[in-house]
Every structure is written in C-alpha cells, then in structure tokens.
Amino acid sequence: MMTAYEKLLAARAQDRPTARAYIEGMFTERTELHGDRKYADDAAIIGGIGELDGKPVTFIGIERGRDLQERIRCNFGCPMPEGYRKALRLMKQAEKFHRPIVCFVDTSGAYCGEEAEERGQGQAIADNLMQMMGMETPIITIVIGEGGSGGALGLSVANRIYMLENAVYSVISPEGCASILWEDASKAADAAECLKITADDMKRFGVAEDVIIENFDAFDVMCEDLKKRLLSDIQEMERFSGKELSEQRYARFRKLGVYQEI
C-alpha cells in the first residue's frame, strides 16, 4: 500500500504520461486549437477537436510538458488566466456543436504570479466553474496526475470525474499545508496524510465516480480501455437533454460537503 505522500510523488513523477500522451493515445483526426481570443495562447492548457471511434469530441488538458524545454513553455503545467479562458472558449464551442467535452487535469495549481493576478486568475477560474455548471453537453474529467486546488477545479465541473489510481486531488499542496500548520514544509508527508488526497479518498467523498488502474507499461491498452469507458459514458449521457445534463451536474456537486443538520 502506498502512502498518500508516495502517491503524490508518483503523480508528480517526470516520466509519468502527460495530457498530450492521453490525447494522442485516444483521439484520432485531431485539430489542436489555440488561444483565448482575448489575450494570448497559454501552452499550459491544450485543447482541440478529435474523434473517439469516429465521434467528434472536444478535448482539453493541462499539459506539464514532456521535456525541460516543453516544461518551461508550459509553465510546468500551471495555467494562466488565459488558459482557463481558452478552455472555456473551447467548451462553449463544443456546446454549440453538441460535442461532448473530455478534460485531463494535471497541475500543481493555477499559476501564482503578478501577471496572473493582473489578468484575473480568480475571475477566470470562477467563470469556468459557473459556466461549466450550465454547459448543456456532457463533460467528463480525468485527473491523470496532480489535482492542485482551484487550478484543477477550473476544469473539473464535470458530470463524471475519474481519478487514476495514483492521482491526487487537494485543496492546498501538502507542502503549503505543512508550512501553514507546522511552519515546516518538510512535513509535507504528514500533511498529505491529513488532507486525504488519494483517488480512493475522492471516491469515498463522492468527488470522483471511479478509480482507474494505471498500466503505463501497456499505455496503448490503458488508452483503449479508457476510450471505451468514455464512449459508453457519453452514450449514456446523450440520452439526456442538455438542460438535464446541466442539472445533473449541479446535483452532483450540490451534495458534496460534510456537516451535521441539527
């Protein structure tokens, strides 16, 4: 059994497949689309149109980059506000043309920097949360690595969320949590345990529908299985109207949270 911290390290491992690998492994006839039409193109969020067994689908993914050069260009998978706005543009486009949306989440968090604040990182994520809730088309999110806080949530308002077995989801990085709690970032392993960040935790909380077994040695088989799962989900969801899908999505998030009624 791996500890939460070991899983976090596995999720961050540099040789782990990034969003682009899944997109290339599952979608054919791809056209990558760039830019938010407002400010810039953020390389940390990739997106476009592709086909799953002949069915057009919009794909969006947070990309960490595969080598150092790419990582620098992708800002190590930390999106800028224009990344979230680009994602939203592609989602709106998908909705218009009745295409399902598949999102791949893998980020330590939305970029923390001066320019990100000036261009409204908070507003960009907020807008995604609200607009995604209203989207009248199926949305499926797969957390393939790190689900870092609001930056991950900005692509997670989905009808179904899957977690890879070593993927994690957290409100704050365990390092950040440890430095707030114990003023010692090196206690991240303890914090990871306390924060309950594993895929199994997500399933237990109702944040994720299911956990997907990793099989990176046979990545093409894994992609094929994942594709089948997506297609059957999409088929199930397309029985509902767009409005129903939006309401189901809200109902899904509506029940998240733990409190006592007195």
Partner 1 sequence: MNNIVGMFRKSRNVLESGGITPEVEEKIRCPICKAIDTKRSVAKNKMVCPVCGHHYRISARTRIKTVCDKGSFQEIPMHLQTENPLHFPGYANKIESARLASGQEEGVICGTATIRQQPCAIFVMDPQFMMGSMGSVVGEKITRLFEYATEHDLPVVGFTASGGARMQEGVLSLMQMAKTSGAVHFHSQKGGLYITVLTDPTTGGVTASFAMLGDIILSEPNALIGFAGRRVIEQTTKKKLPDDFQRAEFLQDCGFVDAIVSRTELRATLERLLKQHRKGAGV
Please report, as ranges, the residues that interact with partner 1 according to CB under 8 A.
110, 112-114, 116-123, 125-127, 129-131, 133-134, 149-150, 153-154, 156-157, 169-172, 176-177, 180-181, 194-197, 201-202, 205, 207, 249-250, 253-254, 256-262
Nearer to partner 1, 130 or 218 (CB): 130
Q: Give the 3-state secondary structure of residue 92.
A: helix
Structure tokens at 152: 């991950």
Give the residue with the Cβ less far from partner 1, 23 or 155.
Answer: 155
Least distance (Å) between residue 131 CB and partner 1 = 8
Q: How far is the CB of 91 from partner 1 (least distance, A)?
A: 14
**Residue 52, Cβ neighbours under 10 Å: how many?**
20
Q: How far apart are CA 116 and CA 42, in angstroms?
A: 12
> In terms of CB distance, is 21 or 246 closer to partner 1?
246
Q: Is the dihedral of CA 23, 100, 94, 256 positive or negative?
A: negative
CB 96 within 8 A of CB 125: no
Rounded to 10 degrees, the C-alpha dihedral 121/123/128/131 comes to -170
Between CA 97 and CA 55 the distance in angstroms is 12
Closest contact distance (angstroms) between CB of 196 and partner 1 is 5
C-alpha dihedral (152, 229, 31, 101), degrees to nearest 10: -50
Radius of gyration from C-alpha coordinates of the chain: 17
Query: Which is closer to partner 1, CB of 157 or CB of 223?
Result: 157
From the CB of 148, what's the least distance to partner 1, in Å?
A: 10
Q: Position of tokens 């099989």?
A: 215
**Nearest residue (CB) to partner 1, 217 versus 261:** 261
Distances (CA, A) of 86 to 33, 100, 110: 9, 17, 14
What is the bridge-based pairing of β-strands 28-32 and 45-52?
A: antiparallel
Decide whether 97 or 205 has the Cβ nearer to partner 1: 205
Nearer to partner 1, 185 or 231 (CB): 185
